Amino acid sequence: MKHIRLALILGFLPASPLLADTSEREDALKLPQTLITGNRQVQARSDSSSANSVFTRDDIDRLQPTSLTDLLGRVPGVQVARSGGRGGLPGIYIRGTKSAQSLVLVDGQRMANATSADSNLQYLNIDQIERVEVLRGSRSVIYGSDAIGGVIQIFTRRGADQAPQLRVHSTVGSYGSSDNSVGVSGGDGQTRYNVSASLEETAGINRTHASFPSDSDHDAYRNKSLNLNLSHYLSEGVEVGLTAMKNIGKTELDNSFGRWDPGTMTVSGQQLYSDFDISSVGSFIDAQLTERWNSRLELGHSENREKTRDKLSAELYSFNTYRDSLNWQNNLTLDDTNSLILGADTYEDRVRSSTVFDQDSRWNRAAFIQHRFRGDYFSTELGLRHDQNQQFGSHNTWSASLTVPLNADNDVLVSYSEGFRAPTFNDLYYPQFGNPNLKPEYSKSYELQWRSQLSDNSRLETSLYRTDISDAIVADADFIQQNIGAAQITGFESALQQEWFGWQSSLGIAVIDPRDRDTGHTLSRRARRTLSLDLDRQFGHVGVGASWQAMSRSFNDEDNTQPIAGYGLLGLRGNWQASPQVRFDVKVDNLLDKRFTRALYSYEGNYYGYREEGRALQLAVTWTPDFWHL
């Protein structure tokens, strides 16, 4: 912690007046054709070597997703397998990799739980989000461990260069659901801020079809969230900032495994409630040291605290993890065609829980360098990273890409990237299921991309890729974690943005073949084919839209004995800008009332699907009064 405290002090010292302007990073968050996550710096989306998807706040308002996981399901190559209803634990699969093999950032801070590697995306309120960026494919040179499948970064609400703006949002919907938030944001040329809070609740549904009588009730969910974002220019070219986020709530769980009573030698039901407390705080200083040298220092602390209790007994389980992180990156423009990224990062994880782990802390330190050449006839990117892990020693990874513009409207990209991921504390030490002999996972990824501006109103991006993972970690039939020889994932994905006679359309298609190379079996909970289609049109102050999402069948287990049926979901939405200050939104999810499941559970030797919500109606109003101009 000493280096974190020292860096926090240094990060907010006054800077030299000789420093020049930093890039307008905050403004870039509002733009659909910019990207920050690719190299931790502002760049055009078309300049990034990573296949990427971006959702701005305007996109979120138009699509009206109920949750962040609903939004991510629209990204080609991304699948979400949720364990029933709101607040249910989601599995996030980017290009066939599992949740633990993809990195989730919130305002630059790593958010994964150190024990389970769960990202807790289900707890992030969609109204608190300014922007979402998704990188598909390995980005391990810049981000290190966990970025084998890709990177998801969530940017919380930001202020703008404007007078203080109050924002009040209220939503009511089926299943006793409501979501209410209030926030104020604003700023000037020197300081920007946003403070917002929300309360999300639902009576829920009974997630399990068959289980103990104690599980037959509806599973409610409650989430209170608070978000703070502040940035300030100390002088010309020197910006400092602070972000803070906290989510506190409760979710009710169904437990088909029950509780074993050694006295009576029987299994009885439980009434489980999980209290969660997710928080993070980060600070940064961004300085344009010279015309060609930008330096950014980021520091963060995050906590994932969870307490699960059984109302039918005195049982209580707690899992608390803590992470401190430091990232220092220097962006150097060598000349008109060459640039360089030099950086170092470190983070430390600590575990405090009612379950005893053989090891409860671990650090990772790394240094990386990446060179980029951009010429008229081709562009290249070459990166190298060295990680020093306290438990698993030193590891080197590298990446390379080549971009060739065929003409002004068509680019072809070829890339290669390596990755490394250390097992989690649960993988290694969880009683009965952990395996302390696990080795780290390693990956090699190959990709071919074609990006085409077909017309002024049409853009097509396609990718053909293969990812080989050696020593992949999976659970065997007894739920004990094991290294399998190798997993191979091959896939194709395509994203088409098109405007047709005033209709804005977005089509995403993905086809993957994720396999255990030793057995030939399909990796669990990965569908081979997915499709997402959104159509929207604005008629003056009134907008209408529709969504169609389809997924082919998958398997719940590694042995492919428990199939999960495919499904297709249709949704409709509309909006009305009644006045400059008042907007109404309405939508119907799962219009055809399709019964479907994304994951299975076992009860008395049989397998059943977790229930998902059927047809659901949602009404919302947003009020942005202009008090300061009355």
3-state secondary structure 217-273: CCEEEEEEEEEEEEEEEEECCEEEEEEEEEEEEEEEECCCCCEEECCCCEEECCCEE
Nearest to 447 by CA among 466, 462, 434: 466
With residue 2 as reference, give the H or E element that holds it: helix 2-11
**What's the whole-number mean pLDDT along residues 155-164?**
90
Residue 98 structural domain: 2-629
**pLDDT mean over 324-337:** 96
| Phi then psi dihedrals of residue 127, to 5 deg | -75, -10
Q: Give me the chain's average pLDDT, please.
A: 89
**pLDDT confidence bin for 339, thresholds 50/70/90:** very high
Choose the most confident range, by mean pLDDT, from 17-21, 216-220, 337-341: 337-341
Question: Is the pLDDT assigned to residue 2 strictly greater than 70?
Answer: no
Looking up tokens 């060739």 gives 404
Q: What are the tokens at 615? A: 């047809």
pLDDT band at residue 22 using 50, 70 and 90 as cut-offs: very low
pLDDT value at position 560? 94
Place of tokens 């659909």: 32
Average pLDDT, integer, range 434-449 = 94
Tens digits of residue pLDDT in 575-594? 999 999 999 999 999 999 99
pLDDT of residue 1: 43
Collapsing DSSP states into helix, strand and coil, what is residue 612?
Answer: coil
Question: What amino acid occupies position 123?
Answer: Y
Assigned token pair, 577: 């800008």
Confidence of residue 121 (pLDDT cuts 50, 70, 90): confident
C-alpha 404/C-alpha 249 separation (Å) is: 50
**Reduced DSSP (H G I as helix, E B as strand, rest coil) percent helix, strand, coil of the chain, to 5:** 10, 60, 35
Tokens, residue 344: 């170092």
pLDDT of residue 15: 35
pLDDT tens-digit readout, 62-83: 999 999 999 999 999 999 887 7
464 is written with which tokens? 């053909």
Task: Tell which residue, 312, 311, 314, 281, has the closest CA to residue 298.
Answer: 281
Q: Which pLDDT does position 144 carry in this prediction?
A: 87
Helices marked H in 283-332 = none
What is the model's pLDDT at position 20?
A: 34
Joined tokens for residue 585: 């939104």
Q: For tokens 């209803």, what's the residue?
A: 85
Cβ burial, residue 403 (10 Å; 0-12/13-18/19+): buried
- Lowest-confidence pick of 60-74, 118-132, 264-278: 264-278
Tell me the residue type at 118: D
User: How many CB atoms neighbour CB 436 within 10 A?
Assistant: 11
pTM of the model: 0.92
Q: Is 10 helix (H, G, I), strand (E, B) or coil?
A: helix
Compute the average pLDDT of residues 152-160: 92
**How far apart are alpha carbons 356 and 209 in whole angstroms?**
33
Return the residue matching tokens 């220019």: 233
Give the CA distances from residue 465 to residues 18, 63, 140, 241, in Å, rounded to whole numbers and listed in that order: 46, 29, 16, 38
Reduce the DSSP state of residue 60 to 3 states and report it.
helix
Q: In total, how many domains does the chain have? A: 1
Secondary structure of residue 569 in the 3-state scheme: strand
In sequence order, which residues have a C-beta less than 8 Å from that of residue 467 and are 6 or more positions away? Answer: 95, 96, 97, 138, 148, 149, 443, 444, 445, 446, 488, 489, 490
Give the residue-averaged pLDDT of 475-480: 81
pLDDT at 175: 93
**Predicted local confidence at residue 9, as pLDDT:** 34
- Whole-angstrom Cα distance, residue 141 to residue 133? 18
Around Cβ 333, how many Cβ atoms within 10 Å?
15
Share of the chain above pLDDT 90, in %: 68
pLDDT band for 19, please (50, 70, 90 cuts).
very low
Assess contact for 246 and 208: CB atoms under 8 A: no
**Which tokens belong to 340?**
């360089």
Please tell me what DSSP assigns to residue 627: G
Query: Rounded to an integer, what distance in angstroms lies between the CA atom of residue 364 and that of residue 334?
Result: 30
pLDDT at 262: 54
| Token pair in block for residue 569 | 């979901």
Task: Kindly state the tokens that stand for 74.
Answer: 């629209």
The pLDDT tens digits for 387-413 are: 999 999 999 999 999 999 999 999 999
The pLDDT score that the predictor gives to residue 267 is 57
In the structure, what pLDDT confidence band is assigned to residue 260 with cuts at 50, 70 and 90? low
- CA atoms within 13 Å, Cβ hemisphere of 617: 1
Side-chain half-sphere CA neighbours of 552 within 13 A: 11
Residue 70 or residue 18, greater confidence: 70
Q: How far apart are CA 555 and CA 254, in angstroms?
A: 21
Q: What is the pLDDT of residue 4?
A: 40
Nearest to residue 565, comparing CAs of 603, 609, 602?
609
Strand partners, 293: 290, 332
What three-state secondary structure class fits 332? Answer: strand
**If pLDDT is split at 50, 70 and 90, which confidence band does 598 have?**
confident
Residue 265: CB partners within 8 Å, gap ≥ 6?
A: none
Q: Which residue has the higher pLDDT, 16 or 432?
A: 432
Residue 282's pLDDT band (cuts 50, 70, 90): very high
pLDDT of residue 3: 40
Token output for 558 = 């590694």
Q: Where are the beta strands (DSSP E) in 471-541?
A: 473-475, 481-483, 486-500, 503-516, 529-539
Quick check: 249 and 222 in contact, CB under 8 A?
yes
- The three-point CA angle 369-401-410 to 5° equals 135
* DSSP structure string for 62-82: HH--SSHHHHHTTSTTEEEEE
Q: Where are the alpha helices (DSSP H) in 29-181?
A: 57-63, 68-72, 140-143
Strands (E), 137-189: 150-156, 165-173, 177-187
Looking at residue 311, its pLDDT comes to: 73
**Backbone phi, then psi, for 428, in 5-degree steps?**
-90, -45
Residue 274: which pLDDT band, with cuts at 50, 70 and 90?
Answer: confident
Residue type, 113: N
Check which CATH number belongs to the domain holding 612 and give it.
2.40.170.20
Q: How far apart are CA 493 and CA 511, in angstroms?
A: 6
Closest CA to 372 of 4, 49, 33, 22: 49
Does residue 594 or residue 217 have the better pLDDT? Answer: 594
Q: Answer yes or no: are the C-beta atoms of 104 and 147 closer than 8 Å.
A: no
Phi then psi for residue 312, to 5 deg, are -95, 0
